[in-house]
Copies of this chain bind each other. A is one copy, B any other.
């Protein structure tokens, strides 16, 4: 099977490397011509849970990367989704499948940009997951380290008529089928963990101090705040009749653990997770506009109050001099009824 992996970051390289180790045909898209050249010339050294040296074609030409692909895996940050979908829109071929790893409402964004007509005419399957499949990190010298595999990562498609191919499910055994793209995007655990912990550690992140994000940074009050935000997320999901689990359960299922509290789970699961050294980082720039803003905006439409979520959006926007609400997913023009019809498959 032929895969296009869009995004040459930590996860993009891990997915591409993993697929090549499984002897799939893979092309990797990266915006960085030097990286494309290096990977195409030297290949990738995969280390960690999987290991081996793979030959891999990387390119800055979107057309070249996706033209033969059955599956187009988009593993950029959520900020890149709109640009990527606009880029691939005119060159999509019949029967291709687009998978956002992870969703961050990417499937709905994709539908909005491509239009129902194009999706139907070309029989495009649009899917998204609730999380990255691996925890991984790539260096700039040509190796990618796959640290952990997440289990029970949800994957959903836009509509029942276009289910995700069995071959894809078999290739990523960590995936389990979800019921709708609302379920996958609302089960993204990052969005309620990263922003509040970042905000309550903002000064030392801003000062580039080295500290452990989940060990030093997740204090009792901060984790309590995360749990309150989680309740708001679960309330939205419940109104939309979407299956969700608490963040603690999601994390325990990802890593097959049994932590009794989130306060123990975070340092337990990520004992060496260094904090970012700048506030201009995806914990804010991705998780707020593409994670918290949609929860808050859904709350407005559904009549669910989300004060914990809203406070983080406001304080972080003001701190960073950014309008995260404007940058983010807003569900403009949608009503409670239209949301409900889309969320229940």
Binding site for B on A (CB under 8 A): 197, 199-204, 206-207, 209, 216-222, 224-225, 228, 279, 307-308, 310-312, 314-315, 318-321
Contacts and interface: CB of A to CB of B under 8 A. Distances in A.
A219 B203 contact: yes
A315 B311 contact: yes
A307 B311 contact: no
Contacts of A218: 203
B201 A220 contact: no
A222 B199 contact: no
A225 B314 contact: no
Contacts of A318: 225, 228, 307-308, 311
A47 to B, nearest CB: 32
B203 A319 contact: no
A220 B280 CA distance: 13
B202 A204 contact: no
Given A307-B314, A318-B307, A222 B201 contact: no
A203 to B, nearest CB: 4
A219 B207 contact: yes
A207 B216 contact: yes
Nearest to A279: B221
Question: For A206, A209, A279, which residue has the most chain B Cβ atoms within 10 angstroms?
Answer: A206
Contacts of A308: 318
Contact of A320 (B216, B221, B312, B314): B221
A321 B227 CA distance: 13
Contacts of A224: 321
Contact of A219 (B204, B310, B311): B204
B225 A206 contact: no
A206 B228 contact: no
Given A201-B203, A203-B221, A206-B219, 8 more contacts: A201-B204, A203-B218, A204-B204, A206-B220, A225-B318, A307-B314, A310-B314, A314-B315
A261 to B, nearest CB: 16
Contacts of A209: 216
Contact of A200 (B202, B307, B311): B202
A220 to B, nearest CB: 6
A202 B312 CA distance: 13
Contacts of A200: 199-203, 206, 319
A312 B319 CA distance: 10
Nearest to A308: B318
Q: Which 3 A-B pairs have the closest CB atoms?
A: A206-B219, A200-B202, A203-B219
A326 B202 CA distance: 27
17 contacts: A197-B203, A200-B202, A200-B203, A200-B206, A201-B201, A202-B219, A202-B222, A203-B216, A203-B219, A203-B221, A206-B219, A206-B220, A209-B216, A221-B319, A224-B321, A312-B315, A314-B315
